[in-house]
Each structure stands twice: as structure tokens, then as C-alpha cells.
């Protein structure tokens, strides 16, 4: 497995050709994708043409960009004019966008080359990756266990060398969950740091505006940070995007709050051990470790669930879409919304958003003293496929396992999933490092210290 930064350096220096790099990744796609179904669409000819263009730029002595020749995957809900933006849903098979998403445009300008589309569940609703349009994406470490969702296709493509990095998004852990399941680094940026979809004539649900962000899956902290630098920054088409300084104005102490078992609801011993070992590496790198839980974690997780399910019912519920959701997405929506108790009145919905500001203020005060929070992505080991289906109890169990993860979305904070070894079954365990609002680079710095200079990950195939 070759890193994105390594590829770009070799192509920029002339030590490797972009054409050869793309051919090597396409060979990997031919070998692995039929079994794993990570990429829903493969852009073989277009990628070759882009690679030839990059090589011509290098040959002229011009600058091809900081990500020259690096093949990457684009999730099925991020606009790329080379194919339909299906969102994993049968009703959008002809939805070819008129323009690339801003982040795709920025990456292509930086010399990176789209090689395929990452599979996802319908509208990214599930914590697993399966749909009626492209089928299931399989975990390369163990096909009986989930690849994670909703950016599961991109995670598997990166973990197996089909792409050097993946573009995904994270509404309820959709980058960090598949990163953890596949032994990768995954950055969920702060709200506003990275542009999302262009907002034009169609209203966007409030939870999508506040909980969901575009981010990166990669094999090293350096790769993730390099891509982040290329895609971050304000965008006139996204009113939530912000023009921000590189870091917040306050001086952050090197102090980490460690949460081994969030809320005391239970944690698998192997997951707890991975949190502890990550904390030890941070301590050895000079961080102060305090075992303390952030404030109002349960309220954050509960409100995320109720608000998210309310908006999902309003925008994707029965009778709303012209083409129904796929079978698994329909079951997930039914069971999750029934268990979550969506809000029935405007007053309840408004009160929940008002309470969010109070909780966010408490977290902000907490993170002045403890800027980084370390805890599990899942409190269980990577579960079997369809773990989030099977009725209201299964939906609730999935949410409970991911309570710290979804609280991050509720608050709009940055977080980095970090690989923390393999469990007793040989499947990755991932932890996360949560930064303060707009402290994305602080979270990345902690992730680098937690894994060492190389930040290497294990290949899944």
C-alpha cells in the first residue's frame, strides 16, 4: 500500500508516472472489487486520460499540484460529472450532475484523479453499507462483519489499495465508523471547515446543515491532513462554510480527556484496552491524560437521534419519495424512527435545537481545559453485517454502541478516527480523537502523536 503523499512526491519528481500509478490501482480494482464491491462505478478510461495529462504537465516542467497523480474515490452522494450522484438510491440512477462538487473540483485542481465511486446505503442512512442498486460492500478483514457505513465503499477501497484516499461524509459517524472497521484514519472536520453540496433551490434539512460534513479517509495522518488542506475553505455555494483562521485563537494545553466507557453503559474489554494503549502513546508523546467524561454526553446522543430521525421521516418517510427506498433502508428507517421517538410538534423540535446551544456551551468550556477527548468509535468490536437491522432493539443497540460518535455530530466538532490494532478475530479496532470547535489540526496533531511518525495502517487484503 502506497500513501497519497508518497505517490504525489514520486509523480512530481518524475520518479513515477501518473499513468503507471493509475494502472496499478486499476489492477487492484480488477482483483478486489468483484469480491468486495467497494466501488459502484470505476472510471478506467477517464482516469487514464487524466493521468496522461498530469504526466504531460510534469514533462513540461510545470507544477501538477500537491496531489499529482493520486487516485481517489468519491462517495456516491458527492457530485462528480463523470457519473450519476445516486446516493445509493434507485431513484437517482440518471442524476448526473452539471458540475463537480467544490471539494472534487479542488482536488482535481491539485492533481488528484477520481478512479471510482464509493458505495453507500440509501441516502447514507445506515451504519452499514448495502443497497438495492449496487448491493453490499464487504469488510476485507472478515466478510461476515460490517464494512461500516455510510462511507463503507470508500473505506474498503482505500483499505485494499483500490484508491489512495476516499472522499466521504459524516452525519452520524459515516466516516469514522468505516474507518474504524477497516483500520484507517478518518477525519470528520468541524462544521463549516469543508464545503458540502451546493445549496440552490431545494431546501436542506436542518440536521443535514448542522450534523453532516464532508471529510477524508486515508492510510496515514499525513495523507488525511494533506487532503484536508486541499479541500478546506469557504465556498459561495455552501452558506454553512466559513472563512476561518488555521486554528482557534486560544492556546490549547496538551491535555486529553480519556473516556474508556462513555456513560458507563458498557464497553468491550478489547476496545477498552485499545483506548488505554492509545492514551499511553499520547502520554509518552507529552500529553497530560485525565480520565474524565465531557458534560451532558447522554443528552447530546439522545437529541442527535431524535432530531435526525425526525428529519429523516419528514424527508425520506413513506410516500415522500417518488421511488421507494431500498429494502434494508426501509427497515432501518422504520425501526430507528420508532425507537427514537421523533418530535411531533414544532415546539418540541425548536426546544431541542435551543437545548443544543446550552450543551455546546458546556462542551466548549470543558474543552478549554481538555481540548482533546479520546474514546471509542464503537464500544463493541466491529459487529456483524446488518447489525443495525432487526427491530427497534437492534436499532437502539447500534446507537448505544456509537453514543460518543453521534454526540460529536450533534455538536459539530472535529474528530479523527485512529487505528488501534486488531481484535482477537483479526478485525481492526478504531478509537477517535475529538478536537474543540474548529480545532481540526489539533485533533490531527493528537492523532499523529497517538500513532507515531509513520502512522501506518494494515492492509485489509
- What residues act catalytically? 75, 150, 174
CA-nearest of 347, 342, 355 to 306 is 342
Q: Which of 304, 195, 223, 255 is nearest to 436 (CA)?
A: 255
- Give CA–CA dist 38/129, Å, rounded: 9
How far is Cα of residue 76 from the mean position of the Cα atoms in its chain?
Answer: 13
Residue carrying the nine cell digits 462513555: 262
Cβ atoms of 128 and 117 closer than 8 Å = no
The answer to whether 416 touches 430, Cβ cutoff 8 Å, is no
State the cell numbers at 15. Answer: 520518479
**Angle (CA) 249 255 257, round 5°:** 115
Q: Are 42 and 115 in contact (CB under 8 A)?
A: yes
In the chain, DSSP finds a helix count (H) and a strand count (E) of 15, 11
| Residue 149 near residue 173, CB atoms below 8 Å | no
Q: Which three cell numbers stand for residue 115?
A: 478512479
Interatomic CA distance for residues 102 and 296, integer angstroms: 35
- 155 contact partners, CB below 8 Å, separation of at least 6: 38, 118, 147, 148, 166, 168, 178, 179, 181, 182, 184, 186, 217
Amino acid at each position: 500500500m502506497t500513501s497519497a503523499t508518497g505517490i504525489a512526491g514520486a509523480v512530481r519528481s518524475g520518479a513515477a508516472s501518473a499513468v503507471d500509478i493509475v494502472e496499478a490501482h486499476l489492477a487492484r480494482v480488477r482483483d478486489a472489487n468483484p469480491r468486495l464491491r467497494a466501488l459502484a462505478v470505476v472510471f478506467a478510461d477517464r482516469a487514464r486520460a487524466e493521468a496522461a495529462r498530469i504526466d504531460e504537465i510534469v514533462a513540461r516542467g510545470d507544477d501538477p499540484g500537491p496531489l499529482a497523480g493520486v487516485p481517489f474515490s468519491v462517495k456516491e452522494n458527492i457530485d462528480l460529472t463523470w457519473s450519476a450522484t445516486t446516493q445509493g438510491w434507485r431513484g437517482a440512477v440518471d442524476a448526473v450532475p452539471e458540475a463537480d462538487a467544490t471539494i472534487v473540483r479542488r482536488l482535481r485542481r491539485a492533481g488528484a484523479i477520481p478512479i471510482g465511486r464509493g458505495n453507500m446505503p440509501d441516502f447514507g442512512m445506515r451504519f452499514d453499507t448495502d443497497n438495492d442498486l449496487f448491493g453490499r460492500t464487504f469488510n476485507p478483514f472478515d466478510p461476515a462483519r460490517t464494512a461500516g457505513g455510510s462511507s463503507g465503499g470508500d473505506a474498503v477501497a482505500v483499505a485494499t489499495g483500490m484508491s489512495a484516499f476516499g472522499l466521504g461524509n459524516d452525519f452520524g459517524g459515516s466516516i469514522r465508523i468505516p474507518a474504524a472497521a477497516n483500520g484507517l484514519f478518518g477525519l470528520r472536520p468541524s462544521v463549516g471547515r469543508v464545503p458540502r453540496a451546493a445549496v440552490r433551490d431545494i431546501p436542506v434539512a436542518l440536521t443535514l446543515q448542522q450534523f453532516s460534513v464532508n471529510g477524508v479517509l486515508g492510510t496515514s495522518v499525513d495523507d488525511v491532513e494533506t487532503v484536508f488542506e486541499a479541500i478546506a475553505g469557504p465556498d459561495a455555494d455552501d452558506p454553512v462554510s466559513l472563512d476561518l483562521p488555521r486554528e482557534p485563537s486560544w492556546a490549547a494545553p496538551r491535555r486529553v480527556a480519556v473516556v474508556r466507557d462513555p456513560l458507563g453503559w458498557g464497553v468491550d474489554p478489547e476496545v477498552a484496552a485499545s483506548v488505554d494503549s492509545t492514551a499511553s502513546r499520547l502520554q509518552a508523546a507529552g500529553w497530560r491524560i485525565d480520565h474524565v467524561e465531557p458534560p451532558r454526553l447522554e443528552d447530546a446522543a439522545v437529541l442527535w437521534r431524535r432530531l435526525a430521525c425526525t428529519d429523516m421521516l419528514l424527508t425520506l418517510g413513506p410516500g415522500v419519495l417518488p421511488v421507494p427506498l431500498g429494502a434494508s433502508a426501509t427497515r432501518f428507517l422504520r425501526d430507528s424512527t420508532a425507537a427514537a421517538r421523533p418530535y411531533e410538534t414544532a415546539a418540541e423540535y425548536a426546544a431541542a435545537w435551543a437545548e443544543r446551544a446550552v450543551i455546546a456551551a458546556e462542551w466548549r468550556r470543558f474543552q478549554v481545559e481538555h481540548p482533546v477527548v479520546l474514546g471509542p468509535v464503537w464500544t463493541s468490536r466491529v459487529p456483524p453485517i446488518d447489525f443495525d437491522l432487526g427491530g427497534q432493539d437492534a436499532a437502539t443497540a447500534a446507537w448505544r454502541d456509537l453514543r460518543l460518535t453521534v454526540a460529536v455530530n450533534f455538536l459539530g466538532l472535529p474528530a479523527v478516527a485512529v487505528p488501534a490494532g486488531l481484535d482477537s478475530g483479526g478485525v481492526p479496532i478504531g478509537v477517535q480523537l475529538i478536537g474543540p470547535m474548529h480545532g481540526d489540526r489539533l485533533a490531527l496533531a493528537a492523532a499523529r502523536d497517538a500513532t507515531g511518525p509513520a502512522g501506518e495502517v494494515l492492509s485489509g487484503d
